[in-house]
């Protein structure tokens, strides 16, 4: 796509925005579609298809994120690194939902505050890559950029960017959303029946006892309230669930960006909460330009190379009115760098007095390769980064308002360590991710328990 226009305006000048204005800016991480007519026809079809979420839902999430900024809620955002079309299945979707519900139960119970639940699903199909091409045995093909762009197999056929995949991604996202909504509306998340979300293999888990004690305590509390009031406690059978994905493939996001009858402005209706990664967070770049004009709450991932100055510029461009709930920064520094890199950023934003929600992604700064060739993450580093994040925010006078995790409800062996102490040889048993390693059910629950312990310690220091 022709997106390299060097005739940029200064970001400090007020500028017109449209759902297409990103096209005049340098757009990194975009696939090169070989057939322009095929590409345009897929976009025309997408523009006619119904949206995946509504503006009311988007605005209610923004309000919940505003509450999280004030410490009244805690954000739990999690799901696969990348969804795949093949794994759009009943088990994968419901197991992932179960883990997120269990984690949120642990957090609500332990932190005594409501949790904002946001899935990294129903649209998490586009991946940034460090190189445009991949070379194996002298053969070079376009890199795999997620199922919305091309296929993972190393063949010319699979790696050809196919615009029809955007239509399929929209359909798979809709199926995922539909199933999640139906489960939740049907009482799947009912606090009277937490056994609905038990996962078969949990029975053998070293964490099972602690989890079951918590569930029993909540059950007692619910029954006590109901006995006291003589009626069923309502609102315990439903929860809000929101979706998020990386807003990477801008033509797709643009096609789903719409105006709606009863709310002003433009909404990206492909998801409630799009984020952009470090690789696309250039202040004059296409992705920042796109995010700038939509009314959704938005997030930017920030890594060790971000400076306070860059961060303040992002705040100016992405949230010039200092709107509550609008802007989230997801820091992903790595356990070994967070102590050096995060505090100057926290200080800069605090001194500036601007509203942001701070969220810790303890996954992406802690990726490493094992001797036997697996991309993995050590549980101890993930846990260590979360713990340090709580301490560093407390020391800086800012607030850690949530976590962003890559996890799955499947019994995979992709991250090392945890209660079952997975080792390098265990990785071979059930390594299924074709991108980043995810926490399995048990490791995810363990992180939730750790957050509770840490947060309790911070709010009641000895």
Candidates 67, 87, 162, 436: give the one binding ligand PEP (CB under 6 A).
436
CB of 406 to Co ion, least distance (A): 5
Residue selected from 19, 81, 199, 412 as contacting Co ion according to rule CB under 5 A: 81
**N- to C-terminal Cα separation, the chain:** 58
Question: How many residues make contact with ligand PEP (CB under 6 A)?
Answer: 8
> Residue 332 CB, nearest distance to ligand PEP (Å)?
5
Give the residue among 292, 326, 346 at the shortest CA–CA distance from 68: 326
Between CA 226 and CA 111, with CA 105 as vertex, the angle to 5 degrees is 95
Instruction: Name the residue with tokens 């860059």.
Output: 310
- Residue count, binding to Co ion (CB under 5 A): 2
Pairing of strands 257-260, 263-268: antiparallel
User: Which CB sits closer to ligand PEP, 100 or 191?
Assistant: 100
> Does position 332 bind ligand PEP by CB under 6 A?
yes
Choose among 69, 111, 108, 79: nearest CA to 400: 69
| Identity of the residue, 245 or 399, whose beta carbon is nearer to Co ion in the bound complex | 245
Which lies closer to ligand PEP via its Cβ, residue 67 or residue 414?
Answer: 414
Least distance between ligand PEP and beta carbon 225 (Å): 39
Question: Looking at 26, 110, 114, 128, which residue binds ligand PEP (CB under 6 A)?
Answer: 128
* Residue 366: partners with Cβ closer than 8 Å, 6 or more residues away: 334, 335, 377, 378, 381, 382, 385
Which among 64-72, 207-215, 237-245, 433-441 is the span making contact with Co ion, rule CB under 5 A? 433-441
Cβ atoms 275, 65 nearer than 8 A:
no
- Decide if residue 341 touches ligand PEP (CB under 6 A): no
Asked if 81 touches ligand PEP (CB under 6 A), the answer is yes
**Residue 364 is a binding residue for ligand PEP (CB under 6 A):** yes
In the complex with Co ion, which residue's Cβ is closer, 84 or 257? 84
Sole binder of Co ion in the list 436, 440, 443, 444 (CB under 5 A): 436
Whether the Cβ atoms of residue 277 and residue 66 lie closer than 8 Å to each other: no
**Phi and psi at residue 306, in whole multiples of 5°?**
-75, 135
Q: Which helix (H) or strand (E) holds 449?
A: helix 441-459
**76 near Co ion, judged by CB under 5 A:** no
Distances (CA, A) of 390 to 13, 203, 336, 348, 455: 37, 31, 15, 18, 7
Residue pair 180/122 in contact by the 8 Å Cβ criterion? yes
Helix axes 90-111, 164-185, angle to 10 degrees: 50
Closer residue to Co ion (CB): 414 or 436: 436
Nearer to Co ion, 69 or 366 (CB): 366
Distance between CA 352 and CA 411 in Å, rounded?
45
Query: Would you list the DSSP string of 231-293?
Result: S--TTSS----EEEEE---HHHHHHTEEEETTEEEEEETT-SEEEE-GGG--TTSHHHHHHHH
* Binding of residue 98 to ligand PEP (CB under 6 A): no
Choosing among Co ion, ligand PEP, none, which partner's interface includes residue 278 (Cβ < 5 to 8 Å by kind)? ligand PEP
Using CB under 6 A, which of 245, 301, 326, 438 touches ligand PEP? 301
Closer Cβ to ligand PEP, 28 or 205, answer by number? 28
Q: What is the footprint of ligand PEP within residues 268-297 (CB under 6 A)?
A: 277-278
From the CB of 129, what's the least distance to Co ion, in Å?
11
Q: Which of residues 146 and 325 has its CB atom nearest to Co ion in the complex?
A: 146
Q: Does 427 bind ligand PEP (CB under 6 A)?
A: no
CA 347 to chain centroid = 25
**Shortest Cβ contact with ligand PEP: which residue?**
277
Instruction: Give residues in contact with ligand PEP (CB under 6 A).
Output: 81, 128, 277-278, 301, 332, 364, 436
Instruction: Give residues in contact with Co ion (CB under 5 A).
Output: 81, 436
């Amino acid at each position: 796509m022709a997106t390299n226009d060097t005739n940029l305006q200064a970001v400090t000048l007020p500028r017109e925005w449209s759902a297409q204005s990103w096209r005049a800016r340098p757009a990194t991480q975009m696939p090169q579609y070989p057939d322009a007519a095929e590409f345009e026809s897929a976009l025309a079809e997408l523009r006619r298809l119904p949206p995946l979420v509504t503006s009311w839902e988007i605005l209610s999430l923004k309000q919940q994120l505003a509450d999280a900024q004030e410490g009244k809620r805690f954000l739990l955002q999690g799901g696969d690194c990348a969804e795949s079309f093949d794994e759009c299945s009943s088990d994968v979707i419901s197991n992932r939902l179960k883990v997120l519900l269990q984690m949120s139960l642990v957090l609500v119970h332990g932190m005594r505050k409501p949790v904002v639940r946001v899935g990294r699903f129903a649209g998490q199909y586009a991946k940034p890559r460090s190189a445009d091409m991949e070379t194996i045995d002298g053969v070079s093909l376009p890199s795999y950029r997620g199922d919305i762009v091309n296929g993972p197999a190393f063949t010319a056929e699979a790696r050809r960017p196919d615009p029809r995949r955007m239509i399929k991604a929209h359909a798979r996202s809709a199926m995922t959303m539909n199933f999640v909504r139906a489960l939740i509306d049907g009482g799947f998340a009912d606090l009277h029946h937490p056994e609905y979300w038990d996962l078969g293999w949990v029975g053998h888990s070293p964490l099972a006892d602690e989890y079951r004690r918590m569930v029993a305590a909540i059950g007692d509390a619910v029954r006590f309230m109901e006995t006291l009031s003589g009626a069923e406690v309502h609102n315990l059978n439903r929860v809000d669930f929101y979706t998020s994905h990386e807003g990477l493939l801008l033509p797709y996001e643009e096609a789903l960006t719409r105006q709606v009858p009863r709310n002003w402005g433009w909404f990206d209706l492909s998801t409630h909460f799009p984020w952009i990664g470090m690789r696309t967070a250039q202040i004059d770049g296409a992705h920042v330009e796109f995010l700038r004009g939509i009314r959704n709450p938005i997030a930017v991932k920030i890594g060790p190379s971000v400076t306070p100055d860059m961060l303040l510029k992002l705040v100016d461009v992405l949230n010039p009115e200092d709107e509550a709930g609008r802007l989230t920064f997801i820091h992903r520094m790595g356990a070994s760098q967070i102590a050096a890199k995060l505090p100057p950023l926290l200080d800069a934003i605090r001194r500036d007095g601007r509203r942001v929600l701070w969220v810790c992604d303890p996954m992406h700064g802690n990726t490493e390769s094992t001797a036997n060739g697996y991309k993995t993450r050590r549980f101890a580093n993930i846990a260590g980064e979360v713990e340090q994040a709580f301490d560093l925010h407390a020391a800086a006078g800012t607030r850690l308002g949530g976590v962003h995790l890559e996890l799955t409800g499947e019994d995979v062996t992709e991250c090392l360590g945890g209660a079952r102490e997975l080792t390098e040889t265990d990785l071979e048993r059930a390594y299924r991710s074709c991108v980043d390693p995810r926490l399995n059910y048990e490791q995810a629950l363990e992180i939730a328990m750790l957050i509770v312990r840490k947060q309790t310690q911070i709010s009641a220091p000895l």
